[in-house]
Amino acid sequence: MAPSATVEPKSRPGPVRSALERLITSGEIEADPLQRRLADRLDALDRRLSAEIGASKKSALGWLFGQKREAERVKGLYVFGDVGRGKTMLMDMFFRQSSVAAKRRVHFHAFMGEVHERIGEHRRAHKKGEAKGDDPIPPVAEAIAAESRLLCFDEFTVTDIADAMILSRLFKALFARGLVLVATSNVAPDDLYPNGLNRPLFLPFVAVLKQHAEIFELAGEEDYRLAFLGEEDIYVETSDSGADGRIDAAWERLLDGARETTASLSVKGRTIPVPRAGNGAARFSFDDLMKRPLGAQDYLALARRFHTVVVEDVPVMAEAERNEAKRFITLVDALYDCGRRLVVSAEAPANEIYRARNGTEAFEFDRTVSRLFEMRSKDYLEKAASAEARDD
């Protein structure tokens, strides 16, 4: 799918394009014509948002901001392409410089977790007679739209039937209230939720998405994240006779003289034990984290609590271990999105851990492999260390 042609008036480069050009000039990335086009598209979107917000403030009827006719509403942007093409980098540049005050960048899994919590809260309040209306979607959409004018999602993907069934109604209501969505994904809108249960009920969301967001394919040949070479040995293959010693040595450096102890996390009333912890780091076996019924909210809680997570003895997985593979994918996503460090000992190289060729997990694991490579790069580790220092 080729990027849709939207003609913008020529002007000096906007903030996203300027930031991209600085990276090119410094030699940090190679020049990519499609990345430049996407940067210009993001700058154009921010100009439209800024102009609309400015006009609404000047107008005596500014409160009608969310009631514009369909043709007058600002459309968002849905960017898709293979892993490592620079989608997240450009969206983050856009988010940082956007003139919109009420904006939010959030992991899709975390956002949907919050949505389900809000729906549950409304239903409980309605049951007690404390809320009007038995349909929770309108008030939930109203609350979200009141908090954010611009919503940015990284790695938009739909695998959960509970999410799939509410997305169409939720986002139709959000868009009607003026929310603008910018999202990145590995797949085109028509390929979301492939082979999902009751997929025909999900398809109206695709139509709503296309109506309210322009679609841009960021194609290319090079995975920019895989171009980084890790400078620290934080991915250890267990075939190495010294693997255990190297993981232990890494753990000792993480502890930095602190006492090792046990810990626990409380997530929605459930307790997740942390068998080994110290100095802001946590250490688990693969079975501790992947063979228990844990989900995105659990792994996000883990990422928020610990700056570094050690996972030992990751085995080679096949289709029979698709549940474990899905949890591993979700763990890596959570740690990556929070900028945390991951130390791994595994039975095989990252690109050989999951060997199934069918199913959603096989497709999503390509992203996991790319992220595992980036998470051992010097640049990523330095950013993680800086974030850790700010947390302290």
Amino acid 270: pLDDT: 85
DSSP 3-state helix, strand, coil percentages of the chain (rounded to 5)?
50, 15, 30
Q: State the average pLDDT over residues 179-187.
A: 93
- Tens digits of per-residue pLDDT, 58-111? 554 443 444 555 556 899 999 998 777 889 899 999 999 998 999 999 988 889
Q: Report whether pLDDT(331) > 60.
A: yes
Q: Is 389 exposed, middle or buried (0-12, 13-18, 19+ CB in 10 A)?
A: exposed
Query: Is residue 271 packed enough to be buried (19+ CB in 10 Å), middle (13-18) or exposed (0-12)?
Result: exposed
Q: In this structure, which amino acid lies at residue 293?
A: P
User: Higher confidence at residue 360 or residue 388?
Assistant: 360
d(C-alpha 145, C-alpha 130), whole Å: 22
For the purposes of burial, counting CB atoms within 10 Å of the CB of 270, is it exposed (0-12), middle (13-18) or buried (19 or more)?
exposed
- Work out the pLDDT band at 229, boundaries 50, 70, 90: very low
pLDDT of 309 higher than 50? yes
Q: How far, in Å, are 28, 75, 237, 310 from residue 254 at the CA level? A: 29, 46, 19, 10
Correct CATH for 15-223 of 3.40.50.300, 3.40.1010.10, 3.40.50.970, 3.90.550.50: 3.40.50.300
pLDDT for the residue 371: 93
Q: Rounded CA gap, 368 and 327, in Å?
A: 11
Name the β-bridge partners of 188: none
CA geometry: angle 348, 349, 350, nearest 5 deg: 115
- Give the pLDDT of residue 188: 93
For residue 104, what is the DSSP state? E
E strand or H helix that includes residue 76: strand 76-80
pLDDT of 303 reads 92
Question: Tell me, what's the pLDDT at 362?
Answer: 87
On whether the 228-391 domain is CATH 3.40.50, my answer is yes
Amino acid sitting at position 36: R
Nearest C-alpha neighbor of 311 from the set 381, 250, 263:
250
**What's phi and psi for 225, nearest 5 deg?**
-70, -35
Q: What is the pLDDT of residues 335-379, one digit of tens each?
A: 999 999 999 999 999 999 999 888 888 889 999 999 999 998 877
Give me the pLDDT at residue 388, please.
61
Q: Are 243 and 249 in contact (CB under 8 A)?
A: no
220: its two tokens: 């290319």
- Give the separation between CA 209 and CA 206, rounded to whole angstroms: 5
Residues 220-229, mean pLDDT to the nearest whole number: 52
pLDDT for residue 65: 45
Q: Which residues pair with 190 in a beta bridge?
A: none
The answer to whether 344 and 372 have CB atoms below 8 angstroms apart is yes
Contact between 192 and 157 (Cβ < 8 Å): yes
334 forms beta bridges with none
Q: What is the pLDDT of residues 7-56, one digit of tens each?
A: 444 557 899 999 999 989 988 788 899 999 999 999 999 999 988 876 55
Predicted TM-score of the model (pTM): 0.63
Question: Which residue would you say has higher pLDDT here, 389 or 47?
Answer: 47
Residue 8: per-residue pLDDT: 45
Residue of higher predicted confidence among 145 and 252: 145
- When computed from its CA atoms, the radius of gyration of the chain, rounded to whole angstroms, is 22
Residue among 32, 148, 140, 12 nearest 86 (CA): 32
Measured CA to CA, the distance from residue 340 to residue 334 in angstroms comes to 9
Report the alpha-carbon distance of residue 15 to residue 94 in Å, rounded. 8
Please name the residues in contact with 324: beta carbons below 8 A apart, sequence gap of 6 or more. Answer: 286, 290, 291, 317
Which pLDDT belongs to residue 233? 66
119-172 pLDDT per residue, tens: 999 999 888 888 888 899 999 999 999 999 999 998 898 888 889 999 999 999
Would you say residue 299 has pLDDT above 70?
A: yes
* In the chain, domain spans: 15-223, 228-391
Domains 15-223 and 228-391 share a fold: yes
